[in-house]
Amino acid sequence: MNLKNLAKIVDDAALNAKPIAQLSLDNQFSEKEAYEIQANSIARRYNRGEKLVGVKLGFTSKAKMEQMGVHDMIWGRLTDKMLVGRNTNILLEKFIHPRAEPEICFLVKKEINKEVSMDEVKEYIYGVAGAIEIIDSRYQNFKFSLEDVIADNCSSAGFVIGKWHNVDTPIEDLKMDLIVNDEVVQSGSSKAILGNPWESVVAASRLCAQYGQVIKAGNYIMAGAATSAVYLEKNQTVKVEVDTLGSIQFTVQ
């Protein structure tokens, strides 16, 4: 089994918006190898001119772990091409079967190149914002093992960031609603994210240090969803409202 070949398979699937069979059905690979596949697939994006702009965490809430049937936290990479502007349209045909989920995003102030503790984490962060993540598993029926989803860059496909707020803005227990065409379809609290979304920054620092990934100043860290994700359809207006952080929205065309 060649990890580079598997990386090409997931990358092509993302590029062409064509679903693939789970890699783990025909290949046995470890979690560590899954991260190598991810790194190789993202290297292909860098070769096409995409830039790393941050990292995301996945399965930081019970709601997400239960929805997807997995048991552990994962991390993936965000590139500039995935950043979606607020109030813009996304084209459904660019994705396979996209879903949206409510998140919190952090803007990094000081390079994170080691595991940081909860006591010092705020020194590394410039601001916090509400956010929406668009995930789009490259696997048929959005079904995968933990190794599969890691190899597939944790389903990352897009992210929309709300207005930035000061790092001292309380974010430990904010109501987070996912609203589609004026109907609340998911409702939760930021507390669902590891008990406190700041724990996601600590976890990102630990996981990235473990895999040798530096998180640079100016990069984003997506904390992971507070609720289950919902499928997107044409002509939807998708909005996330995060209590004092405000709302973020986009439309689907």
**Interface with ligand OOG includes 147 (CB under 6 A)?**
no
Name the one residue in this structure whose structure tokens are 């995935």: 82
- Out of ligand OOG, Mg ion, none, what residue 104 binds, judged by CB under 5 to 8 A for its kind, is none
Radius of gyration of the chain (CA): 17
Which region among 28-36, 117-125, 131-139, 239-247 touches ligand OOG (by CB under 6 A)? 131-139
How far apart (Å, rounded) are the C-alpha atoms in residues 162 and 160? 7
Identify any residues that bridge with 77 across adjacent strands, giving them in sequence order: 55
Cβ burial, residue 124 (10 Å; 0-12/13-18/19+): buried
Q: DSSP class of residue 97?
A: S
Residues 122-181 that bind Mg ion (CB under 5 A): 133
**Residue from 221, 225, 238, 252 that binds Mg ion (CB under 5 A)?**
225
Among 108, 135, 215, 238, which residue interacts with ligand OOG (rule: CB under 6 A)? 135
Scan for tokens 């560590």, then name that residue: 32
Q: Is 190 helix (H, G, I), strand (E, B) or coil?
A: helix
Q: Contact 251/238 with Cβ under 8 angstroms?
A: yes
d(CA 69, CA 246): 31
Nearer to ligand OOG, 60 or 219 (CB): 60
Name the 3-class secondary structure at 227: coil
DSSP lists the bridge partners of residue 130 as 104
Q: Which one of ligand OOG, Mg ion, none interacts with residue 125, CB within 5 to 8 A by kind?
A: none
Among 137, 153, 190, 219, binds ligand OOG (CB under 6 A): 137
Q: In this complex, which beta carbon is closest to ligand OOG, that of residue 37 or of residue 154?
A: 154
- Of all residues in the shown chain, the one whose CB is closest to Mg ion is 133
Site for ligand OOG (CB under 6 A): which residue of 208, 225, 242, 248? Answer: 225
Q: Does 59 bind ligand OOG (CB under 6 A)?
A: yes
Q: Which residues sit at the interface with ligand OOG, rule CB under 6 A?
A: 58-60, 64, 68, 101, 133, 135, 137, 149, 154-155, 224-225
Q: Which residues sit at the interface with Mg ion, rule CB under 5 A?
A: 133, 225
